[in-house]
């Protein structure tokens, strides 16, 4: 039975792909195919298309003043990365069976894939009765003794009870109210049922209003979301991949059972090629859809070109980010074969605990304080801006707390004075600021840095890689080498020159090929050529998330003692910052405790280092916010400067223009939103009780 393309895609199960569709009717010119903005817009009657995949391309949102569909007015287009958080309005239309829920609602292993429903009547099971209106969480779809079921759960008296419901279970199931908030992308991926619209209400718009924002200013209404899909497929007599928008005005019919799917073009993505067994390599392939980019070898992989895919393997890369104070940082994956040389750059530390983590047995850590700290205990040291320390080790120390001795963790350091050293103890919970003093002027290869120092580490390219036509890293004012990752790669070469081989990434290269039945020489004689790969912001966070799945985060710094609640930790020093800068430029930097004969040379080196690296020093609020991000290991804006240069003593207001919002920030907003909701619900009752108590 024919249906329009929109309805077909909305009801299509991705697990049943590929499917063969035949065009039945539409608005088009007979025998012609027109292309607009990379998408097919007209198709002839009787044309066959093998659908290989589909994804959401954009969202069409209808503005409505209430939660009713019939009161909608304007229609606007929203990008998937629209910067806002929204709540879901529960669907009032019931589902009539468990099987219907599983067909139309996304159920998966993550929190986003655990929808909740309630039934309007009791459900009696063998050892449990689900009461009318009780919230049921759908956790996963499983097959039990040949029967498809849903693993569910209910919570009673803070106790979770698990049970299964078969697909055949009937009843009127309604969607529960959802107090969580989501990004638009999360809703598109998880919360839009097939063949149904989704009503949402924005609770937090993360960006300021401007002319490019499609929503009206101070918008407080609801939106009905309708996804528009981009359908990817191949046609019977074309040797390329077509992209069709699902809102194209055509009717199609599914004829998969009547056609041989293997007779169509068989495009493979890089992921598909990588899933082939190692015995199938090497193989010859024709590029069907090439990647975009001018950098070699991407500019060589044009459609129609034959290539040899020699093998698949895992390779290591160093994940690096540009050091700058704003959010527009560039990110790179640097291969071990990079031939440039690096010089060290100062690191910045937010707490004494960070100093302990960065401490190394090979080299004594030398830092300068960039923030004052007033110690609440006489046994611990109070820090002023410009104080410099040699970090020793972590140990325990005794302090007097409420008249009693208490043992806490402290960081043993040596304060560098003009002609002496003084042993001091800093509390591990100390929230201050320190910047590293670099005495090492040596130039390092990338492999040497990774071997001798612990990442993350700050560097600058001092000698560019001469084997690269344009070394993008050499133009960076500074780089933070964040971590070593392992990623999947394919070794390819041109069919005409198999010896000239390149590494290409599997999961970040949008490229499709068609395998050819041609013999190929298995030998690769020349060295493999690699590139410094620049990755996008989204790819950067995906790489870090996948790399850190099996790693445990470092322990959090110890909490502050309760005595600190009544006494401020950070105080603004009375002396001007210009005095502090003058003091830093005249520091005694002999870390080997030699006499002062080498002082002039050391001071000269430090002055050069300071003059190159003194830019600004974050204010207190900014340091606190950055510390939170550092603790979650998702570094959005690492501090990369040494000290703040003030013309006067008034405070500097920092403008934040973060465009990317990571999952941890979203979770914090969610928690605050839910806490405020609970407060508003309980406050009237609490106030009434207080008034009753006063009357009594």
Q: What is the pLDDT of residues 8-58, one digit of tens each?
A: 888 787 778 889 998 887 655 444 455 555 555 567 788 888 898 888 888
Which of 125-129, 136-140, 635-639, 643-647 reaches the highest mean pLDDT? 136-140
Which helix (DSSP H) or strand (DSSP E) does residue 59 occupy? strand 48-64
Tell me which DSSP letter residue 263 carries.
G
Q: Is the pLDDT of residue 498 over 60?
A: yes
Task: Give the mean model confidence (pLDDT) for residues 595-602.
Answer: 40
Contact 83, 207 (CB under 8 A): yes
pLDDT confidence tier of residue 391, bands split at 50, 70 and 90: very high
pLDDT at position 664, please?
Answer: 55
pLDDT for res 586: 40
Is residue 552 within a helix (H) or strand (E), and if so which, with residue range? none
If one compares 65 and 498, the residue with the highest pLDDT of the two is 498
For 199-234, give the DSSP string.
EEEEEEE-S---TT--SPTT--SEEEEEEEEEEEEE
Q: How far is CA 688 from the centre of its chain?
A: 45
Closest CA to 291 of 513, 39, 51: 513
% of the chain beyond a pLDDT of 70: 71
Helix, strand, coil tally for the chain in percent (to 5): 20, 35, 40
- Check whether 443 has a pLDDT greater than 90: yes
Q: Which two tokens stand for residue 682?
A: 């309980």
Q: How confident is the model at residue 99 (pLDDT cuts 50, 70, 90)?
A: very high
* Averaged pLDDT score across all residues of the chain: 76
Instruction: Kindly report, residue by residue over 607-630, the tens digit of the pLDDT.
Output: 434 334 433 333 333 333 333 333
Q: Is the pLDDT of residue 575 over 90?
A: no
Rounded Cα distance between 150 and 141, Å, is: 5
Q: Which of helix, strand or coil describes residue 390?
A: strand
Structure tokens at 295: 């950098």
Listed in sequence order, the residues at least 6 apart from 681 whose beta carbon sits closer than 8 Å to its beta carbon are none
What per-residue confidence (pLDDT) applies to 524?
Answer: 61
| Integer CA distances (angstroms), 199 to 75, 86, 186, 191, in order | 13, 10, 14, 10
Alpha helices by DSSP H, listed for 459-549, are 537-547
Q: How far is CA 405 from the centre of its chain?
A: 45
DSSP string, 459-477: EEEEE--TTSSS-GGGG-S
Q: How far apart are CA 107 and CA 391, in angstroms?
A: 51
Greatest distance between any 2 Cα atoms in the chain: 96
Q: What is the distance between the alpha carbons of residues 11 and 352, in angstroms, rounded to a whole number?
A: 56
Work out the pLDDT band at 165, boundaries 50, 70, 90. very high
Q: In sequence order, which residues have a C-beta less than 8 Å from that of residue 104 and are 6 or more positions away?
A: 95, 193, 194, 195, 196
Identify which of 687, 343, 693, 295 has the alpha carbon closest to the alpha carbon of residue 471: 295
CA-to-CA dists, residue 271 to 158, 201, 313, 507, 618, angstroms: 44, 37, 12, 7, 43
The first and second tokens of residue 4, run together, are: 């329009």
């Amino acid at each position: 039975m024919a249906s329009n393309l929109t309805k077909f895609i909305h009801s299509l199960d991705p697990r049943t792909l590929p499917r063969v569709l035949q065009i039945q009717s539409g608005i088009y010119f007979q025998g012609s195919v027109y292309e607009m903005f990379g998408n097919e817009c007209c198709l002839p009657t009787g044309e066959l298309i093998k659908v290989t995949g589909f994804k959401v391309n954009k969202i069409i949102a209808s503005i409505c003043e209430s939660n009713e569909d019939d009161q909608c007015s304007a229609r606007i287009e929203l990008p998937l990365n629209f910067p806002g958080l929204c709540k879901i309005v529960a669907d009032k239309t019931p589902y009539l069976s468990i099987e219907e829920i599983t067909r139309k609602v996304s159920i998966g292993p993550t929190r986003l894939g655990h929808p909740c429903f309630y039934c309007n009547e009791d459900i009696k099971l063998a050892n449990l009765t689900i009461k009318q209106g009780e919230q049921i969480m759908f956790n996963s779809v499983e097959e039990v003794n040949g029967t498809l079921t849903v693993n569910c759960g209910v919570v009673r008296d803070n106790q979770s009870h698990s049970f299964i419901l078969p697909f055949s279970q009937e009843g009127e199931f309604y969607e529960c109210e959802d107090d969580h908030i989501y990004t638009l992308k999360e809703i598109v991926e998880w919360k839009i049922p097939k063949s149904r619209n989704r009503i949402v209400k924005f609770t937090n718009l993360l960006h300021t209003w401007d002319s490019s924002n499609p929503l009206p200013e101070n918008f407080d209404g609801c939106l009905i979301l309708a996804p528009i899909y981009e359908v990817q497929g191949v046609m019977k007599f074309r040797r390329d991949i077509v992209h069709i928008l699902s809102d194209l005005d055509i009717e199609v019919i599914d004829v998969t059972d009547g056609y041989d799917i293997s007779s169509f073009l068989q495009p493979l993505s890089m992921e598909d090629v990588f899933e082939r067994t190692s015995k199938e390599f090497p193989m010859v392939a024709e590029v069907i859809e090439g990647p975009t980019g001018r950098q070699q070898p991407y500019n060589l992989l044009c459609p129609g070109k034959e290539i040899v895919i020699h093998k698949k393997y895992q390779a290591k890369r160093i994940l690096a980010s540009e050091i700058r104070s704003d959010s527009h940082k560039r990110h790179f994956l640097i291969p071990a074969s990079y031939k440039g040389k690096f010089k060290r750059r100062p690191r910045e530390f937010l707490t004494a605990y960070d100093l302990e983590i960065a401490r190394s047995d090979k080299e004594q850590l030398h830092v300068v304080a960039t923030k004052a700290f007033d110690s609440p205990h006489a046994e611990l040291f109070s820090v002023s801006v410009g104080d410099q320390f040699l970090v020793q080790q972590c140990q325990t120390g005794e302090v007097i707390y409420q008249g009693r001795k208490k043992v806490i963790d402290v960081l043993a350091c040596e304060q560098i004075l003009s002609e002496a050293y003084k042993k001091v103890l800093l509390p591990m919970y100390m929230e201050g600021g320190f910047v590293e003093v670099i005495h090492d002027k040596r130039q390092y290869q990338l492999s040497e840095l990774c071997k001798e120092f612990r990442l993350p580490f700050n560097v600058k390219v001092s000698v560019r890689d001469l084997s690269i036509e344009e070394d993008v890293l050499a133009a960076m004012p500074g780089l933070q080498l964040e971590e070593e990752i392992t990623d999947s790669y394919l070794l390819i070469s041109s069919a005409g020159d198999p010896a000239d081989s390149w590494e290409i990434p599997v999961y970040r290269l949008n490229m499709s090929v068609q395998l050819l039945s041609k013999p190929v020489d298995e030998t690769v004689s020349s060295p493999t050529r690699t590139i410094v790969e620049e990755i996008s912001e989204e790819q950067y966070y995906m790489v870090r998330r996948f790399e850190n799945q099996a790693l445990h985060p470092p322990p959090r710094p110890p909490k502050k003692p309760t005595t600190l609640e009544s006494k401020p930790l950070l105080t603004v020093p009375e002396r001007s910052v210009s005095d502090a800068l003058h003091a830093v430029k005249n520091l005694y930097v002999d870390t080997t405790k030699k006499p002062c004969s080498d002082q002039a040379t050391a001071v000269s080196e430090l002055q050069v280092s300071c003059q190159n690296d003194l830019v600004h020093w974050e204010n207190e609020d900014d340091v606190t916010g950055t510390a939170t991000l550092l603790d979650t290991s998702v570094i959005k804006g690492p501090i990369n400067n040494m000290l703040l240069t003030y013309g006067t003593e008034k405070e500097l207001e920092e403008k934040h223009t973060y465009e990317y919002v990571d999952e941890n920030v979203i979770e914090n907003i969610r928690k605050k939103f839910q806490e405020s909701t609970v407060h508003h619900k309980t406050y009237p009752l609490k106030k009434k009780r207080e008034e009753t108590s006063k009357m009594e």
